[in-house]
Amino acid sequence: MSGTQHGARGRGRSGGARGGRPDRRESAERSEAAISPARLVAYDVLRYVEDREAYANLALPGRIREAGLDTRDAGLATELASGALRWRGRYDRIIELAADREIERIDARTRNVLRLGVHQLLGMRTAPHAAVNESVELQRRVGNRAAAGFVNGVLRSIGRASNEEWDARIAESAAGVDDARAALASHPAWVIRAMQDALRIEGREDELDALLVADNAAPRVNVAILPGAGVTPIEAAERAAEAEVVVSGPSPLGVEIGGGDPARAIAASGARRGFARVQDQGSQLAALALTRARPVQPGERWLDLCAGPGGKTAVLGAEALIGGASVRANEVAAHRAQLVRNSVAGVAGAVDVVSFDGRDDEAYGGERFDRILVDAPCSGLGALRRRPEARWRKQPSDLPGLTRLQAELLQEACAHLAPGGILAYVTCSPHLAETRVTVDRLLRSRSDLVEVDARAVVGEVAREPLDLPGGGLSVQLWPHRHGTDAMFISLIERRAVDS
């Protein structure tokens, strides 16, 4: 993997979650030194991700607002944080080689300072002296002051070699081919194996390197122009052309933003309030696969079982309004249920939001449903472009608990699916244990269920022809092939007469 693939050269977006505030003493200490506010914000985001299991895409906007960063500094903070998280595996190996010390033996605060420094040296156009000096000062403010010299020495050593030279050193020092690929591609080895397995059953194992490259590239911002918005995606793009909005991608609802503030682009689109929202086009297609699998009959009852944070629910609500259906949106976590209410404000007349465990009868309100979306909790390995920290947070040991939960949710949902009804099982993961294995196990457990051809449905819905190799009935989307998250979609029908 060449050095040109390492890190975005422009200002990217990050993917990630819970925010927080530095304590008062730390804030006071920082005010004493003239450190770039963007670097302080980026450091905080890395700290929240590591110490508080925050999601960077949620923590970052909050810290940017708190710090009052202007557009330029906000872009710098975003690139610093997302780049350091995305390339953490590779940067940690480089730090180990330069420091002759295992990364876990370096203090956590110093590790994050070094990661930001390495990204500036190897992934951005920052002048080397500025990258080193700012990192040293940052270490003095947020970490052990005595380690400032260590930071200086390590970064100066790293700055003396190019990306290509560091890649050669990584390869030479690796324990084997798998270890080298994991470090160079900045993905845990088990994640690479899972992706390789999923590509192999499609006969596309040779696409693995392209997938890893796509995972390490900041994605363009996608917006869904919901049905009923008052403008079509084409009209929205024309009205917001100055905001770099273009019609692109596989979803018939989707437009892409080339750069700048998404809120500005949405405002310029002319869409009704609440009918245009940032959303990956894979998520858009997953929701449309359910709503457009067959014509909607007035009075249909739909259920979004795991609705938070509400993006797919908003698509369901917009489609329900047009077809005369209604939606029950369930989210187990109360704070995420509020996010769903916020997301569906524009289509609130069609959506009722409740908060129960999807394995309990209360989630279903004593009803059976004509269509059910089970967007199950999963490893999130399909969204590593937007949530780069997920690759470092999940472990293979997490999979048994996740797949057990997925199976339990599916069993309960099928029990509340009306005869003749259709269920969409969706995960933002290509891991076979969370996709085909889960679906096949469900189908074997119930004779009244049959899988529907999701490929035909999604192919009909999509704006452009989709490359879906390998046969079978389910859909696996990929970032390198379709420009979406790696979304899995399976459609399952309950027979009208049990056999």
Residue 470 counted as an annotated binding residue: no
Tokens linked to 130:
């500025």
Residue 309 counted as an annotated binding residue: yes
Percent of residues, the chain, with pLDDT higher than 90: 87
Separation of alpha carbons 493 and 408, rounded Å: 18
Residue 127 counted as an annotated binding residue: no
Half-sphere exposure of 177 (CA within 13 A, CB side): 1
Instruction: Report which DSSP code applies to 16.
Output: B
Q: Which of 198, 347, 353, 428 is catalytic?
A: 428
Separation of alpha carbons 413 and 146, rounded Å: 58
pLDDT of 14? 35
Pairing of strands 417-427, 488-494: antiparallel
Percent of residues, the chain, with pLDDT higher than 70: 93
Name residue 211's amino acid.
L
Question: Rg of the chain's alpha carbons, rounded to an integer?
Answer: 23
Residue 306 counted as an annotated binding residue: yes
pLDDT of 89? 97
pLDDT of 104? 96
Residue 307 counted as an annotated binding residue: yes
**pLDDT tens digits, residue range 180-218?**
999 999 999 999 999 999 999 999 999 999 999 999 998
> Does the annotation count 428 as an active-site position?
yes
Separation of alpha carbons 421 and 413, rounded Å: 11
Residue 274 counted as an annotated binding residue: no
Answer yes or no: is pLDDT of 10 > 90: no
3-state secondary structure at position 371: strand
Tokens linked to 483:
């420009």
Per-position DSSP letters for 111-144, written without gaps between them: HHHHHHHHHHHHTS---HHHHHHHHHHHHHHHS-
Is the distance from CB of 195 to CB of 208 less than 8 angstroms?
Answer: yes
pLDDT (mean) for 135-152: 95
Per-position DSSP letters for 212-243, written without gaps between them: HHHHTSPPPEEEEE-TTSSS-HHHHHHHTGGG
Instruction: Report which DSSP code applies to 203.
Output: T
Separation of alpha carbons 441 and 454, rounded Å: 18
484 contacts: CB under 8 Å, gap ≥ 6: 249, 250, 280, 281, 282, 285, 477, 478
Residue 378 counted as an annotated binding residue: no
15 contacts: CB under 8 Å, gap ≥ 6: 55, 56, 57, 82, 383, 384, 385, 386, 387, 388, 389, 390
**pLDDT tens digits, residue range 266-311?**
999 999 999 999 999 999 999 999 999 999 999 999 999 999 999 9
Omega of the bond prior to 309 within 30 degrees of 0, cis?
A: yes
Residue 242 counted as an annotated binding residue: no
**pLDDT tens digits, residue range 433-458?**
999 999 999 999 999 999 999 999 99
Of the candidates 224, 175, 189, which has an alpha carbon nearest to the alpha carbon of residue 395? 189
pLDDT (mean) for 347-354: 95
pLDDT of 272? 96
Residue 308 counted as an annotated binding residue: yes
Name residue 127's amino acid.
A
pTM of the model: 0.90
Separation of alpha carbons 18 and 62, rounded Å: 9
pLDDT of 258? 87
Residue 3 counted as an annotated binding residue: no
